[in-house]
Amino acid sequence: MSSIKVVLRELRQATLDGMAHSKEKLHQVADNLADHLEDLIRRVRAQDVFHGHGVPGPGSSSRPYVPNATRKPPGMDDQEYVDILQASVHNPDGLEAILGKFRVPGTASYIDVAEGKVPPATYFSLGDDWETIADAHQLTDRDMFDSFNVPFLERVIAEGKPITFSHNPLDYPGSALADELDFLESHGYRFDATKMQAILRSR
């Protein structure tokens, strides 16, 4: 019986020693994991920044948008162009982009739809400045679309935001909304009328 007690005592001590050793190892593993996580966070923060030239993105973006300088209207100052692009993008931190019509009787404006999202969605609008800019630089509506609407769409594509329509673009042929859909389709999107979204086609 005494020999059994000795064995049990030795087993108990071995177990305690093993637990102490394991506890020390666990602390070491935890410390290593914490150090690795902190290093990972530092590296992500260093990479996850916006590198656009004066035009803020939707918070941090791993696919930052850089404006296409060739879209700038002839004779317009570079800084003026950047300022207008920046002013045209509302709620840049939105989780999705809204495209649609401004005035359609019986329906909400795309701006109201965007502002009603939580958080408010991103949308394009130059408001009354549209006519002012067009008159000052002798630009047609097509010129304005190419210089300002298109960069907005390029930015949304670069940022990978979901694109939702407040109005069906197929109901307004020849409109800027239809032209926006045409542009998206030329860049790999398709329109899903059931979801009212532009969906990126699978490769």
Is pLDDT above 50 for 33?
no
Query: How many structural domains does the chain have?
Result: 2
**pLDDT tens digit sequence for 36-84:** 434 433 443 333 333 333 333 444 344 567 888 899 999 999 999 999 9
**pLDDT tens digit sequence for 116-128:** 999 999 999 999 9
Same-domain check for residues 33 and 91 = no
Same-domain check for residues 95 and 188 = yes
Same-domain check for residues 96 and 139 = yes
Q: Is the pTM of this model over 0.85?
A: no
Same-domain check for residues 73 and 149 = yes
Q: Which structural domain, as residue segments, surrounds residue 175?
A: 69-200
- Residue 9 placed within a domain: yes
Report, in angstroms and rounded to the nearest whole number, the Rg of the chain calculated over CA atoms: 28
- Residue 62 placed within a domain: no
Same-domain check for residues 133 and 194 = yes
Same-domain check for residues 31 and 73 = no
